[in-house]
């Protein structure tokens, strides 16, 4: 990452941290939601941008994390909040592992997309029928917990304290994901996306790597869901609907799948667009769809890719700026 | 010592049978070429050996072990390294990164990974090894070039480098000079000869169309036609074989 | 028996939507996320024509045909400007581009028809029921089943028997070769894609009665149609027909034996099918 991008990132982080000091509660809520779904999108891109697998059912794992948290808080375990986050994360990991174990050997591409879509929908319909989980109304009035960490008591129920907790937790998750993506494991995953057969002929057990990536991605998605439950203070079956599952896809594509930061950039851009067009019924979808189309047709590398190309052009190197590779024109 | 043994291998695509009971024995240290006209089944046989595809009948033995049911990655770990007809490199990565992942894959597979678990950057030993491979392939000037921007010949070299980084016992080359300019062809032939020279102990199995390349490299040749092995032997024996002359070299001789 | 009729009705309704989806895939190798949205536009167009109480069965069918024409033209526009460009891109990007088209369509519907729910009654003639062997069957169900079967028979005839179908099949299998034989490939593709989209519009019009129209209408059918298409084998119209009947009957049995959990079993069945036959029951087909 170049210096300019680093400064921008730091500036963005500072704005996010200081936001509650000047913004109204509506904007703070939207920002907090964006931070959580940005991490959710990051977990999805670990699968897509690194392992070359597209899940269209990641909303289901988000939902599992959110419901696990909501139920445990309702049962009165708020004192073990940090442990609950770990528990929800594990739940997502276990479910993702089970699905990946059965599905990945047989299907990739479109089939995996449809299969995961169907599984998430199955989960949503089932949740809507279980009375213990509030059926279609879900679980309302989720508390923002107060818990003790040995030497101090953390009270997340007051003011904006849960917002800052979300900021810190998400920063840690981003750090964790960055480490996974940039280490040896992430490098090997990238070879699998770029050419799965070639990777196998380097002696890489591609199936196993994909399964591990699927599991990690699911665990992080569930963790994001677990953070979201006390933030929204209500979970309903629709928390894992098709729109939720497509959120990370949109963010990632808009921001750029080949860049680690792409999903984050996409999430914030998307929220900004949504926020500024929130009063315009219908126009919102048209603008969102239009931007997405423009990105896919003209900048398949996303905003992050266009940015990098721009930086490359501005820097002192003699080579001309490389334009984003245009899509192949169709020969007819 | 026999390093690869194929016993009566059959393979069909749907109703089309492309391999009919092919046998072959490849000895350690030799350079073994599989030739034949288009559609003879060379590439299919090659894929059966490397584990890219399975076969309906027959068996593949590697280093005395039956590997017929082993997937490609297991055969690679056992010491089989291959290149593809159209060079397959990781296009979004630089030449250097291509080799880093290959070296790291080998270290991981042999349990000799020297980087601590939390490390993000590759170890210095890995980088040293990558650099020495780059020098050997004369790609050191292009270490930071994205693989997608390398010339055709350089891509072929880089792919060979990825394979060599796995320290294979057998080097499987599928048409190593396909689509190359004559000068590139000479360069790659030299490189292969250099890598597999006496003393390296490296076995090479290759399919190839260019007779110049084959006669320059091969110790033994197997000739295939219509999914069957029709002859096998040294260059001289193959040249003298009347059946081969008829189906293959006879036509080729006019060009030469 | 009643279950069977109900199941068949659901199945045929899904088939009407799935038919166009599988055709577009057969021709262009694109799995079109926007298909549900075009189905929805068809329904809205037809509802604008007939109002909330259509006067006769013929009026409904006429409205459906107009909806088919409108959506067909829209489809040609989309094909011309978008689908054609994404045909050779990574399949994930294809899905996302068509998803974007879907968003635009939903926005368009909200702009034109607003957010209110609309509903349309079945026209006289098929608003009551008939008694067959002592069973009361809503005649609108019979209308849907008949529509599904007619559409299937026509499609099957066109694809496998008629000259136009052979031409399109040739294009889908090998566009280059078809061009060599003097077939106007771009025009052929455009006609076929327009036809596939028109099917979505037609389905929207035919399934209009007893439906609550809202901008979310597309989603509810899209997923079922997706699954049908994949289970039947992508691009395979006969497969989609069989899969739709199968899913419909499973759903019918579900309502009978597990009334507390409607729609759950069908998803289980779907997942099982996908895992057991990842290439569909009749296999993938380029038409």
Domains of chain C: 2-276 (1.10.3470)
Residue A19: inside a domain: no
A110 touches chain C (CB under 8 A): yes
For residue A236, the SS3 value is coil
Q: What is the pLDDT of residue A301?
A: 67
C-beta of residue A5 within 8 angstroms of C-beta of residue A307: yes
Q: Are strands B170-174 and B80-83 parallel, antiparallel or unpaired?
A: parallel
Q: What is the pLDDT of residue A331?
A: 35
Residue A195 with chain B: CB contacts under 8 Å: 88, 90
Q: How confident is the model at residue A192 (pLDDT cuts 50, 70, 90)?
A: very high
Residue C165's Cβ-count burial label (10 Å; 0-12, 13-18, 19+) is middle
Task: Say if the ipTM goes beyond 0.95.
Answer: no
Q: Nearest CA of chain C to the CA of A42: how many Å? A: 17
* Cross-chain Cβ contact A258/B92 below 8 Å: yes
Q: What is the pLDDT of residue C144?
A: 80
Residue A265: inside a domain: no
A101 touches chain B (CB under 8 A): no
Beta bridge partner(s), residue C213:
C118
Q: A68: which 2 tokens?
A: 């696990």
Question: What is the chain A residue with the closest CA to B53?
Answer: A197
Residue A4: inside a domain: no
Q: Tell me which residue of C250, C267, C35 sits closest to A114, measured CA to CA.
A: C267
C-beta of residue A248 within 8 angstroms of C-beta of residue A58: yes
Q: A16: which 2 tokens?
A: 């996010």
Domains and CATH numbers, chain B: 2-84+170-255 (3.40.50.300), 90-149 (no CATH)
Residue A111: inside a domain: yes
Q: Nearest CA of chain A to the CA of B247: how many Å? A: 34
Residue A1 pLDDT > 70, yes or no? no
Q: How confident is the model at residue A312 (pLDDT cuts 50, 70, 90)?
A: low
Q: What is the pLDDT of residue B212?
A: 84
Residue C264 with chain A: CB contacts under 8 Å: 122, 125-126, 129
* Cross-chain Cβ contact B73/A258 below 8 Å: no
Residue B251 pLDDT > 60, yes or no? no
* Cross-chain Cβ contact C261/A129 below 8 Å: yes
C-beta of residue A322 within 8 angstroms of C-beta of residue A312: yes
Residue A305: inside a domain: no
Q: Tell me which residue of A243, A241, A248, A227 sits closest to A66, measured CA to CA.
A: A227
Q: Cα–Cα distance between C168 and C235 in angstroms, integer?
A: 13
For residue A78, the SS3 value is helix
Q: Nearest CA of chain A to the CA of C106: how many Å? A: 7
For residue B247, the SS3 value is helix
Q: What is the pLDDT of residue A211?
A: 95
Q: List, in order, residues 6 or more apart from B151 with CB less than 8 Å away.
A: none
Q: What is the pLDDT of residue C225?
A: 84
C-beta of residue C32 within 8 angstroms of C-beta of residue C272: no
Interval B59-103: pLDDT, tens: 999 998 899 889 999 999 999 999 998 889 999 899 999 999 999
The rounded Cα C45 to chain-centroid distance in angstroms is 16
B50 touches chain A (CB under 8 A): yes
Residue A109 pLDDT > 60, yes or no? yes
- Residue C75 backbone zone (phi > 0: left; psi -120 to 50: alpha; other: beta): alpha
A105 touches chain B (CB under 8 A): no
Interval C41-81: pLDDT, tens: 888 888 888 777 767 778 888 888 888 888 888 888 888 88
Q: What is the pLDDT of residue A321?
A: 36
C-beta of residue A239 within 8 angstroms of C-beta of residue A225: yes
Q: Which residue has the higher pLDDT, C269 or B205?
A: B205
Residue B76 with chain A: CB contacts under 8 Å: 200-203
Q: What is the pLDDT of residue C101?
A: 87
Residue A255: inside a domain: no
Residue B196 pLDDT > 60, yes or no? yes
Interval A25-40: pLDDT, tens: 888 999 999 999 999 9
Q: What is the pLDDT of residue A166?
A: 94
* Cross-chain Cβ contact A54/C186 below 8 Å: no
Give chain B's mean pLDDT. 87
* Cross-chain Cβ contact A114/C227 below 8 Å: yes
Euclidean distance between the first and the last CA atom of chain C, given in angstroms as a whole number: 34
Least confident of A91-100, A162-171, C111-120: C111-120
Residue C150 CA: distances (Å) to CA of B93, B192, C147, C154: 54, 65, 5, 6
A106 touches chain C (CB under 8 A): yes
pLDDT along chain C (287 residues), means of 10: 77 84 78 84 84 75 86 86 75 78 85 76 68 70 81 80 71 70 75 84 80 70 81 79 85 77 78 75 59
Task: Choose the closest CB to A114 out of C87, C106, C230.
Answer: C230
Tokens 């630089």 belong to residue: B94
Residue B256 pLDDT > 60, yes or no? no
Q: What is the pLDDT of residue A327?
A: 39
Q: List, in order, residues 6 or more apart from A290 with CB less than 8 Å away.
A: C100, C104
Residue A164: inside a domain: yes
A319 touches chain B (CB under 8 A): no
Q: How confident is the model at residue B235 (pLDDT cuts 50, 70, 90)?
A: confident
| Total domains, chain A | 1
Q: Nearest CA of chain A to the CA of B87: how many Å? A: 10
Q: A41: which 2 tokens?
A: 């999108």
Q: What is the pLDDT of residue A288?
A: 79
Q: How confident is the model at residue A20 (pLDDT cuts 50, 70, 90)?
A: confident
Average pLDDT over residues A247-260: 85
Q: Tell me which residue of B121, B124, B133 sits closest to B96, measured CA to CA.
A: B133
C168-175 contacts at long range (C-beta below 8 A, 24 or more positions apart) = C168/C27, C168/C192, C168/C287, C169/C286, C169/C287, C171/C27, C172/C26, C172/C27, C172/C235, C172/C286, C172/C287, C173/C286, C173/C287, C175/A332
Q: What residue numbers bound the domain in which A148 lies?
A: 31-243
Q: What percent of chain B has pLDDT over 70?
A: 96
Q: B164: which 2 tokens?
A: 């060599």
Q: Which of residues 138-197 of A touch C (CB under 8 A)?
A: none
B221 phi, psi to nearest 5 deg? -130, 140
Identify the top-confidence range among A46-55, A167-176, B149-158.
Answer: A167-176
């Amino acid at each position: 990452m170049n210096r300019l991008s680093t400064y921008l990132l730091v500036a963005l982080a500072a704005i996010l941290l200081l936001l509650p000091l000047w913004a109204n509660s509506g904007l703070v809520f939207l920002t907090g939601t964006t931070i959580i779904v940005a991490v959710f999108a990051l977990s999805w891109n670990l699968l897509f941008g690194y392992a070359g697998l597209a899940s269209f059912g990641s909303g289901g794992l988000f939902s599992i994390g959110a419901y696990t948290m909501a139920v445990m808080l309702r049962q009165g375990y708020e004192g073990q909040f940090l442990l609950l986050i770990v528990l929800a994360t594990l739940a997502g990991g276990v479910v993702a592992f089970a699905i990946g174990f059965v599905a990945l050997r047989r299907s990739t591409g479109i089939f995996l997309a449809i299969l995961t879509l169907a599984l998430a929908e199955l989960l949503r319909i089932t949740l809507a029928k279980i009375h213990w989980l509030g059926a279609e109304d879900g679980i309302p009035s989720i508390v923002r917990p107060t818990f003790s960490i040995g030497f101090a008591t953390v009270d997340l129920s007051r003011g904006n304290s849960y917002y800052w907790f979300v900021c810190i937790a998400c920063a840690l998750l981003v750090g964790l994901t960055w480490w996974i993506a940039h280490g040896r494991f992430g490098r090997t995953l990238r070879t699998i996306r770029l050419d799965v057969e070639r990777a196998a002929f380097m002696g890489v057990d591609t199936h196993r790597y994909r399964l591990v990536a699927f599991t990690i991605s699911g665990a992080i998605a569930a963790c994001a869901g677990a953070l979201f439950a006390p933030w929204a203070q209500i979970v309903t079956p629709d928390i894992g609907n098709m729109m939720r599952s497509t959120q990370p896809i949109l963010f990632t594509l808009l921001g750029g799948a080949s860049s680690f930061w792409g999903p984050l950039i996409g999430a914030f851009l998307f929220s900004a667009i949504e926020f500024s067009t929130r009063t315009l019924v219908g126009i919102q979808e048209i603008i969102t769809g239009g931007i997405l189309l423009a990105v896919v047709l003209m900048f398949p590398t996303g905003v992050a890719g266009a940015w990098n190309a721009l930086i490359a052009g501005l820097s002192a190197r003699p080579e001309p700026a490389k334009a984003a590779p245009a899509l192949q024109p169709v020969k007819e | 010592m026999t390093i690869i043994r194929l016993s009566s291998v059959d393979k069909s695509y749907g109703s089309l049978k492309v391999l009919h009971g092919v046998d072959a024995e490849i000895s350690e240290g030799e350079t073994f070429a599989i030739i034949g006209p288009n559609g003879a089944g060379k590439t299919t046989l090659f894929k059966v050996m490397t584990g890219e595809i399975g076969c309906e009948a027959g068996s593949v033995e590697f280093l005395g072990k039956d590997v017929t049911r082993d997937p490609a990655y297991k055969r690679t770990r056992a010491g089989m390294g291959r290149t593809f007809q159209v060079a397959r490199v990781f296009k979004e990565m630089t030449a250097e990164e291509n080799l880093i992942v290959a070296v790291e894959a080998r270290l991981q597979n042999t349990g000799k990974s020297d980087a601590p678990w939390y490390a993000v950057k590759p170890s210095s030993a890995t980088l040293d090894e990558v650099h020495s491979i780059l020098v050997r392939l004369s790609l050191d000037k292009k270490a930071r070039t994205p693989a997608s921007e390398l010339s055709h010949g350089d891509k072929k070299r880089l792919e060979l480098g990825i394979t060599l980084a796995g320290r294979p016992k057998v080097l499987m080359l599928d048409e190593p000079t396909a689509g190359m300019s004559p000068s590139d062809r000479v360069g790659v032939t030299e490189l292969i000869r250099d890598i597999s020279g006496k003393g390296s102990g490296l076995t090479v199995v290759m399919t190839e169309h260019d007779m110049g390349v084959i006669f320059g490299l091969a110790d033994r040749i197997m000739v295939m036609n219509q999914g069957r092995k029709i002859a096998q032997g040294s260059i001289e024996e193959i040249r003298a074989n009347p059946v081969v002359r008829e189906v293959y070299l006879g036509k080729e001789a006019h060009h030469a | 028996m009643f279950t069977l009729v109900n199941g068949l009705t659901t199945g045929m309704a899904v088939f009407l939507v799935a038919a166009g989806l599988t055709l577009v895939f057969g021709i262009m190798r694109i799995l079109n996320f926007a298909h549900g949205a075009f189905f929805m536009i068809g329904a809205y167009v037809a509802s604008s024509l007939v109002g909330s109480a259509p006067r006769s069965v013929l009026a409904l069918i006429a409205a459906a045909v107009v909806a088919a024409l409108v959506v067909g033209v829209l489809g040609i526009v989309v094909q011309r400007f978008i689908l054609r460009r994404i045909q050779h891109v990574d399949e994930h990007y294809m899905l996302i581009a068509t998803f974007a088209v879907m968003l635009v369509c939903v926005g368009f519907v909200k702009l034109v028809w607003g957010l209110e729910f609309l509903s349309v009654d079945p026209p006289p003639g098929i608003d009551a029921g008939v008694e067959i062997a002592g069973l009361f069957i809503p005649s609108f169900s019979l209308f849907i089943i008949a529509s599904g079967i007619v559409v299937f028979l026509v499609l099957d005839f066109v694809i496998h028997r008629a000259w136009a179908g052979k031409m399109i099949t040739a294009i889908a299998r090998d566009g280059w070769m078809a061009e060599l034989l003097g077939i106007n490939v771009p025009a052929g593709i455009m006609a076929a894609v327009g036809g596939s989209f028109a099917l979505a519009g037609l389905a929207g019009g035919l399934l209009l009665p007893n439906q609550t129209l809202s901008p979310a209408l597309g989603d509810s059918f899209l997923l079922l149609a997706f699954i049908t298409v994949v289970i039947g084998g992508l691009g395979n119209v006969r497969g989609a027909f069989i899969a739709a009947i199968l899913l419909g009957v499973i759903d019918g049995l579900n309502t009978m034996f597990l009334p507390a959990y409607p729609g759950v079993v069908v998803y289980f069945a779907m997942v099982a099918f996908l895992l057991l036959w990842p290439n569909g029951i009749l296999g993938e087909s380029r038409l």
